[in-house]
């Protein structure tokens, strides 16, 4: 997706040849026009699939998931990283490891929001080691639902996430794929 590539080139910052900082448009400050375009692109890529809901994880995946939900006219559910004090209900739970934050979280989704038999599209901001996407896919399985695919905003192809998801049988659609961060520069596939 050229619009996203251009934004990464103009505003993204590579840290230590390992992390792409995109906080000026994706995960701290949000560019609504870019989110809308990405949501429409995911809707185009998954056109023809029966999708009942979109599942993402807080917080960075929410904006693009909402725009995808708008384009597909389906609800969006996000997995919480921390249980709310106001929530005392049955949940689906999976453990995920965040590469960027170097921490494990038990993510949860209320059983009220995902029903057995639904077709779920998973949306996430980054694909590195695949832990977040696999955690969300685990929640989809626990719910007795089908993951129709996984939409990724930015895939780091030099890490094993995409391979893990493919080996698990998931269709992955990435809006941009990064080959490397040599010399703190982004090199696209």
pLDDT tens, residue by residue, 115-143: 999 999 999 999 999 999 999 999 999 99
Q: How far apart are CA 104 and CA 81, in angstroms?
A: 9
Q: How far is CA 11 from the centre of its chain?
A: 20
Q: Mean of the pLDDT values across residues 155-163?
A: 95
Q: How far apart are CA 1 and CA 52, in angstroms?
A: 25
Pairing of strands 19-21, 13-15: antiparallel
Q: What pLDDT, on the 0 to 100 scale, is given for residue 88?
A: 61
Q: How far is CA 13 from the centre of its chain?
A: 20
Helix (H, G, I), strand (E, B) or coil at 79: strand
Looking at per-residue pLDDT, the higher value among 61 and 82 belongs to 61
Q: What pLDDT, on the 0 to 100 scale, is given for residue 60?
A: 85
**Domains in the chain with CATH codes:** 35-180 (3.40.50.2020)
Of 23-37, 92-106, 166-180, the one with minimum mean pLDDT is 92-106
pLDDT in tens, 71-121: 999 999 999 987 665 556 799 999 887 766 777 888 999 999 999 999 999
Listed in sequence order, the DSSP H helices in the chain are 2-11, 32-45, 62-72, 131-142, 161-167
Q: What pLDDT, on the 0 to 100 scale, is given for residue 97?
A: 78
pTM above the 0.95 mark? no
């Amino acid at each position: 997706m050229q619009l996203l590539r251009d934004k990464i080139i103009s505003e993204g910052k590579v840290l230590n040849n390992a992390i792409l900082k995109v906080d000026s448009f994706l995960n701290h400050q949000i560019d609504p026009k870019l989110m809308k375009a990405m949501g429409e692109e995911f809707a185009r890529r998954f056109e023809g699939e029966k999708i009942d809901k979109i599942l993402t994880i807080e917080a960075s995946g929410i904006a693009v998931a909402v725009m995808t939900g708008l384009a597909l006219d389906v609800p969006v559910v996000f997995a919480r990283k921390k249980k709310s004090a106001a929530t005392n209900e049955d949940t689906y739970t999976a453990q995920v490891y965040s590469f960027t934050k170097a921490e494990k979280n038990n993510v949860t989704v209320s059983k009220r929001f995902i029903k057995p038999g639904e077709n779920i599209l998973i949306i996430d901001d980054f694909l590195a080691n695949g832990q977040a996407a696999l955690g969300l896919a685990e929640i989809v399985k626990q719910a007795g639902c089908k993951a129709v695919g996984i939409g990724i905003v930015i895939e780091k192809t030099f890490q094993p996430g995409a391979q893990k998801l493919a080996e698990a049988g998931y269709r992955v659609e990435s809006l941009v794929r990064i080959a490397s961060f040599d010399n703190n520069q982004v090199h696209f596939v």
